[in-house]
Amino acid sequence: MINTSSTPELTQLSTPAIQAPSTIDDREEKTATPTLAEVPIQEDSTLPPKAPSRPDSVDIDLEKVPPNNKVIEDHAVDDAFPEGGRGWAVVFGSFLAEACTFGLVNSWGVFQAHYQEVILPDVNPSTMYTAWIGSVQYSLVFLPGLFAGRLFDIGFFHPMLMSASCLLVLVTFLVAECHQFWQFMLVQGIVTGVACGFIFGGALPVTSHWFKKKRSTAFGLSATGGSYGGTVFPIITRNLIPHVGFSWTMRILGLIILAHLALANLLVRRRLPPVKVAGGLFNLAAFKSAPYSFYVASATIAYLGIYACLTFIDVSAGNAGISSDFSFYLVAIGNAGSGCGRVLSGILSDKAGALNILIPFSVLAAAFTMIWPWCTTKGSLIAIALLYGISSGAFVGLLPVPVAQLGGTGDIGRRTGMLFTIASIGAVVGPPLNGAIYSTYNGFHQVGIFAGCMVLSGAVLMTAARYTALGGWRGKF
């Protein structure tokens, strides 16, 4: 219905009669004849309401941190998370991306063994030098997280993902042409690590756009891609090299990665608009939050020891007199168990809270890491590989989840990037440090104790992050 004044043309548009003004002020208002554009129009209540248009970008200031260190509320533009639907396709795309990043990096052991025995046997000492290739590669998966997270926040997610995917496929083909140590370090260590870092840094936070209540489950399912790749890629590589040679093995791996990443680029999509977040590339204001600071420190320290068992379990099995044909599959068993742990912990954390699940699983991972060097039979090694894989899988799968709860969704890329960039210090130092302990004591018992204590220390700092976030011991977080 249209409300009009006494103008004859507009009066014809209205069915009810218009009463004469009863006051002088009303009569003065009627002297100005309104235009049709000025007339307020009452919308028909029977029609469905129009959906609000989504802006192309949003300006949000996320620099301020609550002084009481409580959990920061979600500042997302759209609070109605789908909790499924198209989001599951995004989860599968992220799964494929992690298979080609963490899965490939976790397969380093099979490459190191081949380089030491066949391609680089004259490098002295070969074990130390070739180990650095894998260590650099692994740390670089985390190091570009700061840049990848910032590019994700400001809207360059898809160009970044596609460019890094093309680079990873290209360098995988180039590894087939390498023959010297410096070539492997440059191509497979540095460039492959950087490409994986930008893929992982972009594909990881996008899941948060689609899930809130089921966020931990979504992260856990995405993270199983690393277990899938870490199980499949070593088996493919080890079985192909004797039949087609190293060069063609790398070309076949390149084609497999190409197929996975092509599908990942089609499936992974962000839902929320880019956010122009106040601050620079590295947001120091985020560390005014005690929970976030404790949590970053916990991840950095835990990475000094979290992968010691998975890295050296096949070597320790060989030292115990077990054949290499069997010990090789211990890493695959550990990765398979890790996949189960990522899914299980994700489902549990949606019900109980991410840190409420992550802390006890990390304590278990520390315990199994300490027990591992005393396992010298096939049965005990299979059991410890499986149990360690399940417990450490929770750490890998749930690590980014609390970051989403410690700030707004619009800034999640930068906060996650800062976490993994700083944690990369522990990732790059951990393997050589554990290797140095092994060389010093000529055994893995001291390695297990040191690595387990580091993971346990990380769990203690996670507990501090949880306490400061909740302001007490009880609560879901």
Per-residue pLDDT tens digits for 73-88: 344 444 576 677 778 8
Residue 44 has pLDDT above 50, yes or no: no
State the chain's mean pLDDT as an integer.
78
pLDDT at residue 9, as a whole number:
40
Instruction: Encode the chain in three state secondary structure.
Output: CECCCCCHHHHCCCCCCCCCCCCHHHHHHHCCCCCHHHCCECCCCCCCCCCCCCCCCEEECCCCCCCCCCCCCCCCCCCCCCCCCHHHHHHHHHHHHHHHHHHHHCCHHHHHHHHHHHHCCCCCCHHHHHHHHHHHHHHHHHCCHHHHHHHHHCCCHHHHHHHHHHHHHHHHHHHCCCCCHHHHHHHHHHHHHHHHHHHHHHHCHHHHHCCCCCHHHHHHHHHHHHHHHHHHHHHHHHHHHHHHHHHHHHHHHHHHHHHHHHHHHHHCCCCCCCEEECCCCCCHHHHHCHHHHHHHHHHHHHCCCCCHHHHHHHHHHHHCCCCHHHHHHHHHHHHHHHHHHHHHHHHHHHHHCHHHHHHHHHHHHHHHHHHHHHCCCHHHHHHHHHHHHHHHHHHHHHCCHHHHHCCCHHHHHHHHHHHHHHHHHHHHHHHHHHHHHHHHHCCCHHHHHHHHHHHHHHHHHHHHHHHHHHCCCCCCC
pLDDT at residue 257, as a whole number:
95
What mean pLDDT do residues 114-126 have?
71
pLDDT at residue 270, as a whole number:
76
What mean pLDDT do residues 414-425 have?
83
Local confidence band at 409 (pLDDT 50, 70, 90 cut-offs): low
pLDDT at residue 275, as a whole number:
66
What mean pLDDT do residues 2-28 have?
41
Full-model pTM: 0.71
pLDDT at residue 141, as a whole number:
84
Q: Which of 14-18, 154-158, 421-425 has the highest mean pLDDT?
A: 421-425
Residue with the larger pLDDT of the pair 60 and 372? 372
Local confidence band at 210 (pLDDT 50, 70, 90 cut-offs): confident
pLDDT at residue 405, as a whole number:
75
Q: Which of 52-56, 304-308, 424-428 has the highest mean pLDDT?
A: 304-308
What mean pLDDT do residues 127-143 have?
76
pLDDT at residue 32, as a whole number:
46
pLDDT at residue 285, as a whole number:
75
pLDDT at residue 261, as a whole number:
95
Lowest mean pLDDT among 6-10, 163-167, 250-254, 370-374: 6-10
Per-residue pLDDT tens digits for 234-247: 889 988 998 999 99
pLDDT at residue 171, as a whole number:
95
Local confidence band at 418 (pLDDT 50, 70, 90 cut-offs): confident
Local confidence band at 124 (pLDDT 50, 70, 90 cut-offs): low
pLDDT at residue 277, as a whole number:
61
Lowest mean pLDDT among 302-311, 393-402, 407-416: 407-416
Residue 172 has pLDDT above 80, yes or no: yes
pLDDT at residue 280, as a whole number:
63
Per-residue pLDDT tens digits for 339-396: 888 888 878 887 888 889 999 999 999 999 999 999 989 999 999 999 999 999 888 8
Local confidence band at 52 (pLDDT 50, 70, 90 cut-offs): very low
What mean pLDDT do residues 21-49 have?
44
Residue 133 has pLDDT above 90, yes or no: no
Local confidence band at 8 (pLDDT 50, 70, 90 cut-offs): very low
Percentage of the chain exceeding pLDDT 70: 77
